[in-house]
A = this chain, B = another copy of it.
């Protein structure tokens, strides 16, 4: 059963996003249409041959903590080694570090394929990439040499160790302690970390934690947080480093990836290595976090895509019922895809997942330009990406809980059983609105920080880019009306933001009380914009009279669907955002 559409991914990258433009940047100059396609084909191969076959098995045989060690599915070791051997873990890093200078956009596209095939399995190597990236970006040469080669090869696992029992959304409260030793850069670490993805397992020989801790005497709050490398086993001799696995979390979904509860330095024998400067840990982490957050959006879109294709395959094959007005029970039943309501459920999934994918790849491209581009283009890409990040993280995360639910609904009773994969996708999708910052946190980030930073410069860029797309669409007769419609919604959105800003100074709590709704509102606008972009790309092809019309026709219907069924949701949200009544502020704790 297909778990993604190669045709759509190629459309998104090569036709809609014009990914080949990136090869004009020096860093990517060796790349070409050919290398990009090779990367995608290689990704598809691993996904089909190694990842997807374990999808169900890994869900049914979840990791277990046995004698202080987490045991994961036996197949993971080979998969991680293959990721290492094929160069996926450090694919985007410079040649001089053994990487391939692959655009992050391509890495994300490959990740999309992996995640759609088997989200749990994809987690391991992607975490290592993120952790290694922190070391190579902020660590000194000795740390890079000591840790990264075995991470790149897949021999060692990398993690991000942030959360503590008292510090989840509120990282400023973290209390893991780092005490200087006589060796410069080496600290004794003591504390505990919870919810650490891949925090311990037996598919790698060592676990390298990128851990936030507070150097003794450091300022309270976020200004006193430093970043450390804390290996599970000491390097190079492999002795234990006093990082004990206290527990494993059993969870609703993506059961194949273990989540650990770690005790660090319980015997005062844990050593950690300061990365970069003291007290800059959170800043370092956040520079990487943007990528991780776009990555979470991608995970969600990938799971949503896999569920969409599972439900599409079922809808094409399952006969049930007859057309409205044709109830003759002696006639054969029709495949359910022919019912308008089933088409609606499929179009909902298609419009959300392809709209989200479009945004996520667009953000990835901005990330590449922000990373290795030049001048004003680089600066603007950075700013726009910063603005879009909470949307790119949250819109797919929230909406793919709904699209996977719709996939279950297409299958009906069958979808609720473990005989089909959609119930697993439904459970797996649910993590994304939570990790890497909850939706509520991202709402406050968007309205409280991103919308106002640099005197609204990022917001203005966002509006400018949407306006460009609107202008283009209005020039194309077949989609003029969609351009005009989006223009109206954009204007209304600007009024809404203007109104909210008037609250900001007077009453910050009221200003931010509905930040989550504002995030949803802006998310819908953003995805409508992405659909209009796709519509322009498609309409150009149709206007040329291309032979392959069914794919493009499907896109145009999807554009219409999104504008008819999703964009209109801004009406109610907008009305609420402009309203004066604030029941959530008036509600008292003891009235519940």
Query: A392-431 interface mask toward B, CB cutoff 8 Å, 1 = contact, 0 = none?
Result: 0000000001000100110011011111000100110011
Q: B434 contacts A321, CB within 8 Å?
A: no
Which of A350, A550, A565, A591 is the most central at the interface, judged by chain B CB atoms within 10 Å of its CB?
A591
Q: Kindly identify which residue among B324, B413, B444, B516 contacts A434, using a CB–CB cutoff of 8 Å.
A: B413
Q: Are the CB atoms of B170 and A592 closer together than 8 Å? A: no
Is A104 in the interface zone, CB < 8 Å from B? no
> Are A333 and B508 within 8 A (Cβ)?
no
**Complex contacts, A590 vs chain B, CB 8 Å:** 550
Q: Contact at A553–B416, with CB atoms within 8 Å?
A: no
Flag whether A438 is at the interface (Cβ < 8 A). yes
How many Å lie between the Cα of A373 and that of B342 in the bound state? Answer: 41
Indicate with 1 or 0, residue by residue over A237-250, a CB within 8 angstroms of chain B CB atoms: 00000000000011
Residues of B within 8 A of A259 (CB): 417
| A343–B587 touching, CB < 8 Å | yes
Does A169 sit at the interface, judged by CB under 8 A? yes
Residue pair B405, A324 in contact (C-beta under 8 Å): no
* A326 vs B191: C-alpha distance when bound (angstroms): 26
| A583–B557 touching, CB < 8 Å | yes
Chain A 345-364, CB-CB to B under 8 Å as 1, else 0, gives: 11100100000000000000
How far, in angstroms, from A181 to B561 measured CA to CA in the complex? 56
Contact indicator B415/A434 (Cβ below 8 Å): yes
Of A13-21, A71-79, A131-139, A312-320, the stretch lying at the interface with chain B is A312-320
Q: Is A251 an interface residue (CB 8 A)?
A: yes
- Chain B residue contacts of A585, Cβ below 8 A: 340, 343
Does A192 have its Cβ within 8 Å of any Cβ on chain B?
Answer: no
* Contact A341–B579 (Cβ < 8 Å): no
Are the CB atoms of B170 and A320 closer together than 8 Å? yes
Which residues of A, 318-345, contact B by the 8 Å Cβ criterion?
Answer: 319-325, 327-330, 333, 335, 337-345
> Is A371 in the interface zone, CB < 8 Å from B?
no
Report the Cα distance A264→B250, complex, angstroms.
40
Query: Does any Cβ of B come within 8 Å of A168's Cβ?
Result: yes
Contact of A592 among B340, B346, B430 (CB under 8 A): B346
Does A375 sit within 8 A of B, measured CB to CB? no
A416 and B443 contact, Cβ closer than 8 Å, known pairs A329-B173, A333-B170, A568-B575 = no
Q: A221-B329, A341-B443, A572-B570 are in contact. Are A321 and B557 (CB under 8 A)?
A: no
- Does the CB pair A319–B166 fall under 8 Å? yes
Q: Are B416 and A589 in contact (CB under 8 A)?
A: no
**How far apart are A350's CB and chain B's nearest CB, in angstroms?**
7
Asked if residues B350 and A592 are in contact (CB atoms below 8 Å), the reply is yes
Cα A359 to Cα B508 with chains together (Å): 37
> A479 near B: Cβ within 8 Å?
no
A190-230 interface code vs B (CB 8 A; 1 in, 0 out) = 00001100000000000000000000000011100000000
Most buried by B among A168, A335, A342: A168
With contacts A320-B170, A337-B589 taken as known, whether A405 is within 8 angstroms of B412 at the C-beta atoms is no
Q: Are A426 and B252 in contact (CB under 8 A)?
A: yes
Scan residues 573-589 of chain A and give those whose CB is less than 8 A from a CB of chain B. 573, 575-576, 579, 581, 583-589
The answer to whether A252 and B575 touch across the interface, beta carbons within 8 angstroms, is no
A337 proximity list for chain B (CB < 8 A): 589, 592
Residues on B with C-beta less than 8 A from A515 are 341
Q: Which residue of B lies closest to A440 (CB)?
A: B341
Q: Which residues of the partner chain B approach A401 to less than 8 Å between Cβ atoms?
A: 405
CA distance A333 to B171 in the complex (A): 12
Q: Which of A244-279 contact B (CB under 8 A)?
A: 249-253, 259
A401 and B416 CA atoms in complex are apart in Å by: 13
A325 to chain B, nearest CB (A): 5
By a CB distance below 8 angstroms, the chain B residues around A554 are 587-588, 591-592
| Alpha-carbon distance A587/B181, docked complex (angstroms) | 68
Bound together, the chains give a CA A430 to CA B312 distance in angstroms of: 20
A19–B178 Cα gap in the complex (Å)?
64
Q: A337-B589, A550-B590, A583-B560 are contacts. A169–B412 as well, Cβ < 8 Å?
A: yes
Q: List 22 A-B contacts (CB under 8 A).
A: A170-B320, A220-B329, A221-B327, A221-B328, A221-B330, A222-B329, A316-B589, A338-B589, A339-B440, A340-B509, A341-B443, A341-B444, A341-B513, A343-B585, A346-B592, A412-B438, A550-B590, A554-B592, A557-B583, A560-B583, A568-B571, A568-B575
Residues in chain A within 8 A of chain B (CB atoms): 163, 166, 168-170, 172-173, 194-195, 220-222, 249-253, 259, 312, 316, 319-325, 327-330, 333, 335, 337-347, 350, 401, 405, 408-409, 412-413, 415-419, 423, 426-427, 430-431, 433-435, 438-440, 443-444, 508-509, 512-517, 550-551, 553-554, 557-558, 560-561, 564-565, 568-573, 575-576, 579, 581, 583-592
